[in-house]
Amino acid sequence: MQAARVPSAGADFELADLPTPEPAPDEVRVRVEACGICHSDAFVKEGTFPGIDYPRVPGHEVAGVVDAVGADVEAWSEGERVGVGWHGGHCFTCEACRDGDFVNCENAGVTGITFDGGYAEYLCAPQEAVAALPDDLGFVDAAPLLCAGITTFNALRNSDAGPGDLVAVQGIGGLGHLAIQYAASFGAEVAALSTSADKESLAHDLGAHHFIDASSTDAAEALQAHGGADVILATAPSSAAISSITGGLGRDGSLVIVAATGEPVEVSPMALIQGRKSVSGWPSGSADDSEDTLDFSALTDTTPMIETYPLSEAEAAYERMINNDARFRVVLVPDARYDG
């Protein structure tokens, strides 16, 4: 099968002709129809996630069709349309799993990190990591929902923000452009924050009620002028930018960070104490959360804005993402199934 893999940390992608993998007894083999490129794929490209065995095929925004199932798999059968996201399976027996908190499993697998992911024609994934895809959601549209979508949908639905509350979405990129749509669908008053003034009309098209140009105005003050944010969802991977907007939180407001940066975010304890404000993070979610995301997206016509590339151009496609040129998610399609 065709695959684009990272031969070693920091190296360019290598196009490889690999044996089609055989599913283990508890695994499902998925024929990949589309795979989104996520900023977290940089963990594999640059070797910044601990314990990666190289060469490694990245990709955790996978949409496709069940192609074969292992001997012990009863939940899935050939021909079903499915997706696989970041959460790549769990052990069912650790403390977190016994709490039903699978995403925090101490032995969790990560698609495209602990096993080969979706930058390939096929991948095998544990059956509990597989999500059903609604019939009316196409593969290329579904792919980015398996990480960018679930992460923002799940963070927002588990936040305190209710209908009419002010939700600020920091960053209008791969995650942010979906977060704006979800927040609007949830009935929130949505403020979109961006350093690109030219994204204003797009932000309104996506459902934002306010657009704040963080390059020319103090975004924290602008949010306070709207009463203070009940939730700020930080989606753009810049700790400095995230630090600069914490002052926009309202009473009991929370800054929820889904942008996976390694740099510290600065916030003064006094600023948190006055008004009982909080800062937290949110991981993506389980396969069940993925199904909720996909179903809700189909129900509300929430789709990502994408650019598609054939798998053989993975390097160029990845560059689009890492250089912040993509509008807004790049999706790879195996060459044999790519039709432009």
User: CB of 92: closest distance to Zn ion in angstroms?
Assistant: 6
CA distance linking residue 24 with residue 34, whole number of Å = 23
For residue 10, how far is the Cα from the chain centroid?
22
Closest CA to 42 of 106, 112, 103: 112
Fill in the per-residue mask, 55 to 94: x = in contact with Zn ion (CB under 5 A), - = not in contact. -----------------------------------xx--x
Q: Does 146 bind Zn ion (CB under 5 A)?
A: no
Token representation of residue 73: 């798999």
User: CB of 103: closest distance to Zn ion in angstroms?
Assistant: 10
- Which helix (H) or strand (E) element contains residue 122? strand 122-126
**Closest to Zn ion by CB, 82 or 188:** 82
User: CB of 329: closest distance to Zn ion in angstroms?
Assistant: 10
- DSSP class of residue 23 equals P
User: CB of 339: closest distance to Zn ion in angstroms?
Assistant: 26
According to DSSP, the residues that pair with 191 across neighbouring strands are 168, 210
> Which of residues 40, 127, 194, 293 is near Zn ion by CB under 5 A?
40
**Closest to Zn ion by CB, 41 or 165:** 41
**Closest to Zn ion by CB, 94 or 267:** 94
Q: Which one of the spans 123-131, 143-151, 162-170, 289-297 is the region binding Zn ion (CB under 5 A)?
A: 143-151
CA distance linking residue 37 with residue 27, whole number of Å = 23
# residues contacting Zn ion (CB under 5 A):
8
> Which of residues 63, 73, 147, 208 is near Zn ion by CB under 5 A?
147
Closest CA to 282 of 262, 319, 257, 263: 257
Given phi > 0 = left and psi -120 to 50 = alpha, else beta, which region is 325? alpha
User: CB of 86: closest distance to Zn ion in angstroms?
Assistant: 5
**Residues 107, 110, 111: CA angle, nearest 5 degrees:** 145
- Which helix (H) or strand (E) element contains residue 68? strand 62-69
Q: Which one of the spans 10-18, 46-54, 141-149, 243-251 is the region binding Zn ion (CB under 5 A)?
A: 141-149
Q: Does 322 bind Zn ion (CB under 5 A)?
A: no
> Which of residues 97, 272, 279, 305 is near Zn ion by CB under 5 A?
97
- In one letter, which amino acid is 120? A
**Closest to Zn ion by CB, 5 or 329:** 329
For 225-284, the DSSP string reads HTT-EEEEEE-SS-HHHHHHTGGGEEEEEEEEE-S--SSPPP--HHHHHTTT-EEEE---
> 234 — phi, psi (to 5°)?
-90, 115
CA atoms 56, 51, 64, 308: torsion sign: negative
Fill in the per-residue mask, 100 to 119: x = in contact with Zn ion (CB under 5 A), - = not in contact. -----x--------------
CA atoms 258, 48, 13, 85: torsion sign: negative
**Closest to Zn ion by CB, 92 or 252:** 92
**Closest to Zn ion by CB, 99 or 335:** 99
Q: Does 38 bind Zn ion (CB under 5 A)?
A: yes
**Closest to Zn ion by CB, 38 or 236:** 38
> 170 — phi, psi (to 5°)?
-90, 115
Binding residues for Zn ion (CB under 5 A) = 38, 40, 90-91, 94, 97, 105, 147
